[in-house]
Amino acid sequence: MGSILILNGSPRAPRSNSKRYAHLFSDSCKTPTDYCDITKANHQALCAKVGAYSQLVFVFPLYVDGLPVTLLNFLKDLEKQPPQNKPTVSVLINCGFLEYTQNDLAVEMLALFCRQNGYPFGSVLKIGGGEAILDTPFRFLAARGIRSFARSVERAKYAAFHTTMPLTKSLFLKASARYWTEYGKKYGVSKEEMQTMKIEQG
Ligand SMILES: Cc1cc2nc3c(=O)[nH]c(=O)nc-3n(C[C@H](O)[C@H](O)[C@H](O)COP(=O)(O)O)c2cc1C
C-alpha cells in the first residue's frame, strides 16, 4: 500500500479535471500513491482507509467560492469517524477563473477542518484557469507546479504553490466565451440560453 492517498472531491470525479491533476501528481511522485474518487457510497470505506497513510492529498475544484458538496459531505463523515493515526493533509485545488487566489477561501476551509480535527496541514497548490490549462500550450506550467507540490509532499517540506495561465483578463474572457459558446452549440444550447437562469432547468 502506498503512503500517499489521493482523494478526488470533484462531483464529476470520473470525468474531472481533478482526476487529470491527480494523475499528474501520481506521475510526479516517487512514493507509491493510491487514488480514489469520493462517491456518495464509499465514505465508510474511505474513512476506514485514511488512517493507513501518512499523507492524504485532497484534489478538488472550487465550487461557488467554496468546497464542492461531494467533499463537504465526506468531511462531515470523516469528522464522525476519525482515524486513529491522522495523516498530513495537502490540497491540490483548481478553479475556472484565471486568478488562482479565488481558491484562497476554500483552502482556508480545509485548513480549518484540519485544525479543528487534529490533522497536520501540509502543502497547497492553487491552480487558476484549471478548466482549460491542461489543453493549452501552458500545460507545462501546471505540470511544473504539480511536480514542485509533489516533491514537497514526499519530502515533508511543506509549502504553498500556485500557477495559472499567463493571459490578460480580456484575452482570457474572449477565449473562454468562445470555448463555452462552442461547447453549448454541441449540446444545442445557445449563448443567450446560457445567460439566463433557464439553464438550471434543463
Ligand atoms: C457548479 C460550479 C461552480 C463553480 N464555481 C466556481 C467558482 O466559484 N470560481 C471559479 O473560479 N470556478 C468555479 N467553477 C469552475 C470549476 O472550478 C472548474 O471548471 C474546475 O476545473 C472543475 O474541476 P473538476 O473537473 O475537477 O470538477 C465552478 C464550476 C461549477 C460546475
d(CA 43, CA 125): 24
As a whole number, mean pLDDT of residues 98-117 equals 98
Query: Is the pTM higher than 0.75?
Result: yes
Residues 48 and 148 in one domain: yes
Residues 46 and 97 in one domain: yes
Average pLDDT over residues 60-84: 98
Does residue 95 line the site of ligand 1, with CB under 6 A? yes
Q: In ligand 1, which atom is closest to the CA atom of 18?
A: 26
pLDDT at 108 over 90: yes
- 133 and 195 part of one domain: no
Is 14 in the same domain as 101?
yes
Same domain for 158 and 202?
no
Confidence check: pLDDT of 2 > 60:
no
pLDDT of 16 above 50: yes
Task: Answer yes or no: are the C-beta atoms of 10 and 18 closer than 8 Å.
Answer: yes
Asked if residue 28 has its Cβ within 6 Å of ligand 1, the reply is: no
Ligand 1 atom closest to Cα of 95? 17
Report CA torsion sign: 139, 148, 171, 177: positive
Kindly state whether residues 95 and 187 are assigned to the same domain.
no
Q: Which residues contact 6 (CB under 8 A, 6 or more apart)?
A: 22, 25, 26, 33, 34, 35, 36, 57, 59
* Domain extent at residue 182: 168-202
Mean pLDDT, all residues of the chain: 95
pLDDT (tens digit per residue) in 168-194: 999 999 999 999 999 999 999 999 988
Give yes or no: residues 108 and 97 share one domain: yes
- DSSP letter assigned to residue 187: T
CATH number reported for the structural domain that contains residue 76 in this entry: 3.40.50.360
Sorting pLDDT into bands at 50, 70 and 90, what band is 197? confident
- Same domain, yes or no, for 119 and 201? no
Q: Is the CB of 64 under 6 A from ligand 1?
A: yes
Higher pLDDT: 195 or 159? It is 159
Whole-number Å distance, alpha carbon 63 to ligand 1 midpoint, is: 5
Q: How many domains does the chain have?
A: 2
- pLDDT tens across 130-172, in order? 999 999 999 999 999 999 999 999 999 999 999 999 999 999 9
- 115 and 184 share one domain: no
Rounded Cα distance, 48 and 51, in Å: 7
